[in-house]
A and B are shown apart, each in its own frame.
Chain A
Amino acid sequence: MSSNALITATGLGAIRGERVLFSALDVSLGFNEKLVLRGPNGSGKSTLLRILAGLTRPDAGTVETAGAHHWLGHRNGIKSHETPRQHLRHWARAWGSDADPVAIATQMGLERPMDVAGRLLSAGQKRRTAIGRLLLTDRPIWLLDEPFTALDSDGRALLTRLIDDHCKAGGGVIAALHGDAPFEASREVAL
């Protein structure tokens, strides 16, 4: 399994305060796979994603990944003074990407707010900017925490298409969702 999987996590356990969120959980993500994490609020979807991303240390178990990942969390990572153009240019520089930040922002439907500072952007515009980061460099794993939050129907369709394209090109996606998945999930993990 481990040789043909992007992520292989075995025996994961997480404790928050006095509560066991999950235990002995196995998660794997293969190439071309879209894995959806489901569960009520507080069930540990975000914690699981954070463990897979290496932000939180699991209380039990191990995570092996075969490749770099992109992260889209609750917080978009956009500074209050940064415009979508500056934000994407900053991360393009940080990641050594040759991608054109303006072209990506345009693809994300951000022509009009291209030079509007982060504190003046709407929640949906910030989210679109953050999604644009996923396109700066090619990384096989996408870890998405409630990625459709704040997006309008166009934005949802756009992200759905990006997820489909990414998986067709051999990547894998793990997304935590509450509502219906706008894309067809390969598998679901219930927490």
Chain B
Amino acid sequence: MSSPSPIRAAFRQAIGEAWAGGAGALLPIGFFAGAAMLVPFTIGSEAAQLAAIGTGVLWVALALASLVSMERLFQADLEDGTLQLWAQDETPLFLIASAKILAHWLISGLPLVVLTPVIGITLQVPAGQLVPAMLAYGLGGLAFFLWGGVAGALAASVPRGGLLIALLALPLFIPTAIFGALSVQTGLEGPNILFLAASTLFALAVAPIGASAALRLAVD
């Protein structure tokens, strides 16, 4: 019938699955906080040193945390047969893939952005820099989840495909990481934040199509 209703249904199902998974949805959050909190112990607690690397550490932790539970995003659907049903639906598969990735980002990705100022303070990053930086981390995190979704779709039919996901996704993170880091350093002035936003929009346009092509191969 009307096209938005299958997309809403897929979104709702993905949210339900993330909640039902319990700790699964919290895993990226724990990973993100844990990875960033280890830094003062390994680098030393000298304020100037930490402040210099703090925003970069947050980017690295965000990039890695966004991949933590990507393995199950499409694999579970392939194993239980849900993906085969979506693949036969008249709704384009890339819309279903987008709905699933965005639901996953909402549950596991958005909390990371909310957490960045808290962790930033422990890394001695000036508080005045942190709140505007959330916009950059939000844009960057969304791009990370989108590219991670492509990698997750490619690895859906691979048992224990976690390593494959990291190998596939991390190179795609590079433009986002570069413009993201620059835009946080320069305090969101200048063109860097626009380049970051452009890289996220590019991911938003391209990643769902890449993911759906990979999913079609997975159900073949």
Contact = CB atoms under 8 A, between A and B. Distances in A.
Contacts of B82: 77, 79
Given A55-B219, A57-B220, A94-B89, A77 B9 contact: no
Given A57-B220, A76-B80, A77-B81, A86 B16 contact: yes
Interface in A86-136: 86, 90-91, 93-96, 117-118
Contact of B84 (A73, A80, A90, A95): A73
Contacts of B220: 55-57
A71 B16 contact: no
A96 B5 contact: yes
B84 A71 contact: yes
Contacts of B85: 71, 77, 91
Nearest to A96: B1
B42 interface: no
Residue among B2, B10, B20, B79 with the most chain A CB within 10 A?
B20
A75 interface: yes
Interface of B: 1-2, 5-6, 8-10, 12-13, 16-17, 20-21, 76, 79-82, 84-85, 87-91, 219-220
Q: Which 10 A-B pairs have the closest CB atoms?
A: A96-B1, A75-B81, A81-B20, A77-B81, A94-B9, A94-B6, A93-B9, A77-B85, A77-B82, A56-B220
